[in-house]
Amino acid sequence: MADQSVQGLDGVLAALNALEPAIRTKILNGAMRAGANVISAEAVARALSLRSPDPYRTPGLVKKMIAVRKRKRIPADCVTGYAVGVLGGAALAEKSTRKTRKKGVVNNQVDLRERPAYWRFLEFGTQNMPAHPFLRPAFDSKGQAALDAIVKQLQDRLPIALQAALTGNTG
């Protein structure tokens, strides 16, 4: 894991703690998304450089499905969390329902032309194929830039939120 450090955020943290929880969460969500977008852009660029021998498993589909998502489950000591990943790539099979059968999914098999569930084989490799990672190197190379984007977003939005809190205008 890449080592990133942030210095001089004591004032920012104090200002965040002075805000109402809803406003603090909104500001932190925006800042975290800004940082995740930096890593996502790098992951897309790296996915485009991938080559696959299978015509259905093109890097273009993986690239289109890379997204930033707000995490539903976060640790108790965290306010918010975001993840960069591949949409629709969590499972190789899904429950066969009327809706999935209409979309072309038959016998619990996913049509890989629509959902890049194979991304993990590209990222981690298999016994027959070497790994061609694109997500982890994106984090490793842009981790500090993502932190810088988070800090910049906090520095830009906190004074506005504090001024609004002082004047009583929370809209």
pLDDT (tens digit per residue) in 117-137? 778 888 888 898 888 889 999
The SS3 call for residue 84 is: strand
Residue identified by tokens 């996502």 is: 40
- Is position 5 within any domain? no
**b/e per residue 138-160 (b: at least 16 CB within 10 A):** bbeebbeebebbbbebbeebbee
DSSP 141: H
Print the domain residue range for 32.
10-167
Domain-embedded: residue 162: yes
Q: Quick check: is 149 in a domain?
A: yes
Does residue 4 lie within any of the structural domains?
A: no
Q: Let me know if residue 104 belongs to a domain.
A: yes
Q: Is residue 136 part of a domain?
A: yes
Total domains, the chain: 1
Residue 3 lies in a domain: no
Q: Is residue 121 part of a domain?
A: yes
pLDDT tens per residue, range 142-155: 999 999 999 899 88
pTM: 0.75
